Amino acid sequence: MNISVIGTGYVGLVVGACLAETGNDVVCADTNAEKVEGLTRNVIPIYEPGLDAMVERNQQQGRLSFTTNVAGAIARADVVFIAVGTPPDEDGSADLRHVLGVAEEIGRHMRRELVVVTKSTVPVGTAAKVGAAVAKNATLPFHLCSNPEFLKEGAAVDDFMKPDRVVLGVESDHARSVMAELYAPFVRTGKPIIFMDIPSAEMTKYAANAMLATRISFMNEIAALCERVGANVDLVRKGVGSDARIGPSFLFPGPGYGGSCFPKDVKALVQTARSCESPLMVLEAVESANDRQKQRLFDKLTQALDGQVAGAQVAVWGLSFKPNTDDMRESPSLALIDAVLAGGGRVVAHDPAAMEEAHRRLGDRVGYAATNYEALAGSDALVIVTDWNEYRHPDFKRMKEALRRPIVIDGRNLYDPAKLSSLGFTYHSFGRSRA
């Protein structure tokens, strides 16, 4: 099948590479000439395990190509995926200018009956706007499809190749048939393709992310209460997660959610609900709780430093919002670093993948360490923000020798409080007794 993907961001690049992997002829188009030129040389602009090898392999075998010729990509396609960004507008709603701009281009340049697939995360009602934008210039029939993505950064290739489910909102038998054929290789193990109306598909994406964000904020607030009443959130989490109605996923306390999806999608869904005069009060509380949680890391640091942040050097392990990605959008590390710098402290940071992105965002406001241990040298405290695997079993003796003061603020509950205490550390975590 001839597939064109408009947009080579996180979603578009993964979609294009994975569809090429199953034998389709895929063209990924983008107006950013520098990015496209890099991709043709297999220079991947994001850190995503397995993606670089897949892109290189499919380019070598002739199934995947990159171009700045958006019109040409549309003209040769049987299916066009719209995978451009939908950044939050000033009021938190999704900005659809790029999506609708691509839709107009599709209508202008399509040369055959076409399935137009919205892959970008868009609010309910967007498909109607996309259809109207395509129809402005279209002289041939087209069929709309909403195909929300459920890709976890750091595991996106596996998520696409082995999905829990594929959600397809369609309005015609033609779209249903084409999309069922396209996704058949990915559901051979029996995972479902769930067909539904387009508004329901659009809502499913937001509802899923909002539910996951709710679990995170709920557990963070339970952890705060555990600290007050002397309970251990690790044990509470296990007790709650063993209930089959609840399950164990997304019940780990931490410094708050970040990334490209949860913050943006929660805001957009809250704004949609307000505009429909059907407020989502639970989600409004989730958003507020997450903002507070990002502040709690700095509060714990300030407490451990006896209120003296000014003049202190703070080592930060982890800058990306989660492991196995270099994405720092809405990362709790940014809130922490801003607070330390505003308080007169210094920051020396380490991250296995996000150092280049950190320098782009933070410049010379912070120091950058080649290794996690190097960040500790002369620091008054260590704050762990991201649970990269290499931080899970460090050399504690080496850590203590490198730190000026043996203070550890563990935002991911990686270590045993009793063990850290016995080794002479002042140790703070979330929802567990202080050591």
Q: Looking at the predicted structure, is the pLDDT value of residue 126 above 80?
A: yes
Q: Report the distance separating Cα 295 and Cα 257, nearest Å.
A: 12
Band of residue 434 on the pLDDT scale cut at 50, 70, 90: low
Q: How many C-beta atoms surround the C-beta of residue 325 within 10 A?
A: 26
Per-residue pLDDT at 123: 86
Phi, psi (deg, nearest 5) at residue 219: -70, -35
Long-range interactions of 88-94: CB distance < 8 A, separation 24+: 88/264, 88/267, 88/268, 91/271, 92/267, 92/268, 92/270, 92/271, 93/123, 93/267, 93/268, 93/271, 93/272, 93/275, 94/121, 94/122, 94/123, 94/126, 94/264, 94/268
Q: Are residues 131 and 272 in the same domain?
A: no
Supply the angle between the helices 281-304 and 198-229 in degrees, to the nearest 10.
40
Examine the domain organization and report whether 273 and 169 are in the same domain. Answer: no
Domain closes at, from 176, 196, 216? 196
CB 79 within 8 A of CB 3: yes
Whether the pLDDT of residue 184 is over 60: the answer is yes
Q: Is there a domain that residue 128 lies in? A: yes
- Burial (CB count <10 Å: 0-12, 13-18, 19+), residue 306: exposed
Whether the pLDDT of residue 175 is over 60: the answer is yes
Average pLDDT over residues 417-435: 91
* Residue 166 sits in the same domain as residue 250: no
> Is residue 261 annotated as part of the catalytic site, yes or no?
yes
Say yes or no: 39 and 184 in one domain.
Answer: yes
Strand partners, 166: 193
Do 320 and 332 touch, CB atoms closer than 8 A? no
Residue 93's pLDDT is 74
**pLDDT tens-digit series, residues 334-393:** 999 999 999 999 999 999 999 999 999 999 999 999 999 999 999 999 999 999 999 999
Q: 18 and 90 share a domain?
A: yes
User: Are residues 392 and 251 located together in one domain of the fold?
Assistant: yes
Least confident of 84-88, 196-200, 236-240: 84-88
Is 107 part of any domain?
yes
pLDDT classification of 287: cutoffs 50, 70, 90: very high
Amino acid 118: pLDDT: 96
In this structure, the answer to whether residues 7 and 120 fall within a common structural domain is yes
Q: Examine residue 204 and state whether it is found in any structural domain, yes or no.
A: no
Considering 93-102, 121-130, 268-277, 282-291, the range whose residues carry the highest mean pLDDT is 282-291
Is the pLDDT score of 124 beyond 90? no
Residue 102, Cα to own-chain centre: how many angstroms? 23
Residues in the chain: 435
* pLDDT value of position 261: 87
Q: Determine, yes or no, domain membership for 230.
A: no
> Cβ distance 314 to 380 under 8 Å?
yes
Catalytic residue, candidates 18, 28, 226, 261: 261
Backbone angles phi, psi at 117, to 5 degrees: -110, 120
Please tell me whether residues 385 and 259 are part of one structural domain.
yes
What is the per-residue pLDDT for 435? 52
Angle among Cα 420, 422, 423 to the nearest 5 degrees reads 65
- Going from the C-alpha of 16 to that of each of 54, 134, 324, 404, 423, the distances in angstroms are 10, 22, 20, 49, 50
25 belongs to a structural domain: yes
**Confidence bin at 121 (pLDDT 50/70/90):** confident
Using the predicted structure, report yes or no on whether residue 135 has a pLDDT greater than 60: yes
Assess whether pLDDT exceeds 60 at residue 216. yes
Distance of CA 366 to the CA centre of its chain: 24
Say if 349 falls within a structural domain.
yes
Contacts for 227-230 with beta carbons within 8 Å, 24 or more apart?
227/430, 227/431, 227/432, 227/433, 230/433
Give the pLDDT band (50/70/90) at residue 91.
low
**Residues 134 and 58 placed together within one structural domain of the fold:** yes
Backbone torsions φ then ψ of 301, nearest 5 degrees: -65, -45
H helices within 61-187, ranges in order?
70-75, 97-109, 126-135, 156-161, 173-183
Domain extent, residue 44, equals 2-196
Question: Is residue 21 domain-shared with residue 145, that is, in the same domain?
Answer: yes
Task: Answer with the residue of higher pLDDT: 85 or 50.
Answer: 50
Of 162, 196, 230, the last residue of a domain is 196
3 state SS of 349: strand
Q: How many structural domains are present in the chain?
A: 2
Which CATH number belongs to the domain containing residue 29 in this structure? 3.40.50.720
Reported as a single tens digit per residue, the pLDDT across 228-272 is 999 999 999 999 999 999 999 999 999 999 998 899 999 989 999
Measured from the Cβ of residue 79, the count of other Cβ atoms closer than 10 Å reads 24
214 is a domain residue = no
Q: Which two tokens stand for residue 412?
A: 């991911």
Q: What is the pTM of this model?
A: 0.90
pLDDT of residue 87: 76
Query: What is the pLDDT, as a whole number, of residue 298?
Result: 98
Domain boundary among 172, 196, 220: 196
The reply to whether 99 and 36 lie within a common domain is yes
Where are the extended beta strands (E) located within 288-430? 313-317, 346-350, 367-368, 381-384, 407-410, 426-428
Residue 90 has pLDDT above 70, yes or no: no
The reply to whether 182 and 268 lie within a common domain is: no
Quick check: is 149 in a domain?
A: yes
More confident site: 94 or 246: 246
Instruction: Supply the pLDDT for residue 85.
Output: 86
